[in-house]
């Protein structure tokens, strides 16, 4: 029988925008924050240590002059993390030495999503408000490639878990697009109108040839990467836009979602007639960040505009903070 892991939490005077478990340390988490829901004002990146049934212990924090919308841990160095800011700044920090390793300011459009490569840890993707996704090599001082990935905002950029040259993006044009850096000419190898409204996020399954998309239309769709003509499943249950979807790194059939309806939902995608396993409704504002721990099975974290990040086991009750 799996041991139950006590919950932990974080409360801020700013809105929480994203939360990411460390890929190295079982008890470490990064949380990004923004003033005024990211519309105007300062931001913050916090590195915390999980403490059972208590607030996280803050190990490191950096104040930014603008919102910090997203972050991504390096998979090569436990102390390196990248952040994307509302003023267009992309920073790579060493939280051990508390130094800025490098930073990029290619435009003043807010950075919506950042992600380090899984197979090539020097690669860093960053997507912005005007639909441009840039590829950085953090050993260089400028981007090595850029892509006009969407017409309007590019909400998400995420690497394929196995194919190191492939990534996916989503945008407010309703599209989900696949990109291959090895493609000789047009790097955009597939493009689908995933939703009739903004496609807010996507995530690759770690075990199957699947990708999930979520949308302002309140739905989640599952797609077979080998045949993208139509979704293989549509998940219904959220009452407002679904800002984030994330597959479990432990079980191919488990998918999490975070929504503007202030809830986190857990789904079993192998149960087409009744896929919803758990509904966690204890946030009091939009839930915009979601992550699964790669260390502890069933441990998740959520981040909300209510200024709270919650860490708990998804098969248990969400903590009340």
Cα–Cα distance between 32 and 146 in angstroms, integer? Answer: 25
- Give pLDDT < 70 ranges for the chain: 1-4
Q: Would you say 217 and 231 are in contact if contact means Cβ atoms under 8 Å apart? A: no
pLDDT score at 184: 83
pLDDT value for 1: 42
Other C-beta atoms within 10 Å of 59: how many?
Answer: 13
Nearest to 29 by CA among 95, 85, 89, 76: 95
The pLDDT of residue 6: 82
3-state secondary structure the chain: CCCCCCCEEEECCCEEEEEEECCCCCCEEEEEEEHHHHCCCCEEEEEEECCCCCECEEEEEEEECCCEEEEEECCCCCCEEEEEECCCEEEEEECCCCEEEEEEECCCCCEEEEEECCCCCCEEEEEECCCEEEEEECCCCCEEEEEECCCCCEEEEEECCCCCCEEEEEECCCEEEEEECCCCCCCEEEEEECCCCCEEEEEECCCCCEEEEEECCCCEEEEECCECCCCCEEECCCCCCEEEEEECCCCCCEEEEEECCCCEEEEECCCCCCCEEEEECCCCCCEEEEEECCCCCCEEEEEECCCEEEEEECCCCCCCC
Q: Strand 132-137's sheet: what is its strand order?
A: 111-116, 123-128, 132-137, 143-148
Spell 220-241 as b/e; 16+ CB within 10 A means b: bbbbebeebeebebebebbeeb
At residue 3, the pLDDT reads 59
pLDDT at 295: 96
Q: What is the pLDDT of residues 148-162, one digit of tens each?
A: 999 999 999 999 999
Phi first, then psi, for residue 38 (nearest 5°) are 85, 5
State pLDDT tens for residues 108-148.
999 999 999 999 999 999 999 999 999 999 998 788 999 99
pTM over 0.75: yes
């Amino acid at each position: 029988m799996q041991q139950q892991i006590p919950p932990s939490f974080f409360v801020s005077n700013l809105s929480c925008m994203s939360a990411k478990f460390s890929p190295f340390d079982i008890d470490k988490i990064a949380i990004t924050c923004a003033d005024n829901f990211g519309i105007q004002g300062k931001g913050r990146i916090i590195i915390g240590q999980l403490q059972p049934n208590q607030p996280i212990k803050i190990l490191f924090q950096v104040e930014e002059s603008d919102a910090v919308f997203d972050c991504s841990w390096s998979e090569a160095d436990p102390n390196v993390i990248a952040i994307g800011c509302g003023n267009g700044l992309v920073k790579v920090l060493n939280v051990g030495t508390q130094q800025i390793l490098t930073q990029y300011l290619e435009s003043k459009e807010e950075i919506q999503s950042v992600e380090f490569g899984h197979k090539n840890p020097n690669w860093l993707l960053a997507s912005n408000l005007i639909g441009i996704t840039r590829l950085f090599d953090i050993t260089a001082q400028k981007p090595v490639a850029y892509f006009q990935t969407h017409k309007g905002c590019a909400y998400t950029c995420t690497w394929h878990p196995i194919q190191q040259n492939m990534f996916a993006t989503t945008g407010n044009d309703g599209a989900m697009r696949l990109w291959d850096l090895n493609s000789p000419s047009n790097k955009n190898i597939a493009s689908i109108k995933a939703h009739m409204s903004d496609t807010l996020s996507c995530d690759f399954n770690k075990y199957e040839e699947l990708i999930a998309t979520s949308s302002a239309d309140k739905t989640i769709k599952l797609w077979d990467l080998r045949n993208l003509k139509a979704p293989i499943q549509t998940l219904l249950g959220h009452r407002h836009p679904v800002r984030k979807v994330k597959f479990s790194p432990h079980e191919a059939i488990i998918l999490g979602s975070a929504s503007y309806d202030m809830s986190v939902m857990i789904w079993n995608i192998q149960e087409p007639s009744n896929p919803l396993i758990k509904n966690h409704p204890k946030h009091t504002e939009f839930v915009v960040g979601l992550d699964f721990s790669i260390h502890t099975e069933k441990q998740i974290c959520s981040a909300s505009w209510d200024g709270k990040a919650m860490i708990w086991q998804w098969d248990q009750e969400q903590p009340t903070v």
